[in-house]
Amino acid sequence: MDKEHLLTTKLIIDGHFHDFQLYSGKFYLWMNQKELNVYDWNKWMKQLVDVDRPIYLEPQPSEQISVTIEELIPFLERTISFSEPIYDCAIFNHILYFSDDNGFYRYSLTKNNAQKERIWDQAVYSISLSAKGRMALSAGESGLFEYLLSSHYLYDQLDRQKAPRIYQLNAHFASQTIWNHHDLIQYGENQTGPTYLTQFNEQKG
């Protein structure tokens, strides 16, 4: 099929919500910082096949479909509630990693009786997940850290270990980070503050 014949569909959800994520056939919609709705994305997409669409006389590059949050109720699988407002979160290997004022946690998205497990008692304000499966934790005045998601990556500097699988990268103020391959761009307290680049040297074996 030629690219000019592909139809792009733009989905608009009309309502008030905090954030959203799409992962492995599930649509995660944060209604606010303490409530997460989990929807069956594949079931929703199958339903959209039956939606009436106008017949164009000329090929159109895109279409737009608007739905309300109430219209998503048939696809709602469950709601996950949190006792404290969430600062940030990321999903990796079917596990939700999140942070609030009391620490950094993990929560299995596949177990029916899953419990929230605290990994570290440090508040993390931004969680950055790389395409290589690495996770950076920006902890404000406490600095920048990495949580080792995989056994493929190890640190030999044990003095930097602050908790199991958590290592401090530097002590500079960290409000947010962006991965650039295996390196990290680190932002400070505000836009006028310093920005840092943390580079890694990899050793295989």
Q: What is the pLDDT of residues 111-134, one digit of tens each?
A: 888 999 999 999 999 999 998 889
Number of Cβ within a 10 Å radius of residue 181: 10
Instruction: Write out the DSSP string of 104-133.
Output: EEEEESS-TT---EEEESS--SEEEE-TTS
Strands 8-14 and 62-68 come out as parallel
Mean pLDDT of the chain: 87
* pLDDT at residue 18 is higher than 70: yes
Q: What percent of the chain has pLDDT over 70?
A: 88
Give the pLDDT of residue 22. Answer: 94
pLDDT greater than 80 at residue 37 = yes
The alpha helices in the chain, defined as continuous H runs, are 41-48
Q: What is the predicted pLDDT for the residue at 181?
A: 85
Residue with tokens 């508040």: 123
Q: Look at residue 155 in the predicted model and tell me its pLDDT.
A: 74
Supply the pLDDT for residue 4: 52
pLDDT score at 1: 41
What's the rounded Cα separation, in Å, for the pair 96 and 164? 18
Dist CA 171 CA 97 (whole Å): 22
Q: Is the pLDDT of residue 29 over 50?
A: yes
What per-residue confidence (pLDDT) applies to 189?
86
> Cα torsion for 163, 165, 171, 173, to the nearest 10°?
-100
Using alpha carbons only, give the angle 167, 186, 116 rounded to the nearest 5 degrees. Answer: 50
Residue 59 scores a pLDDT above 80: no
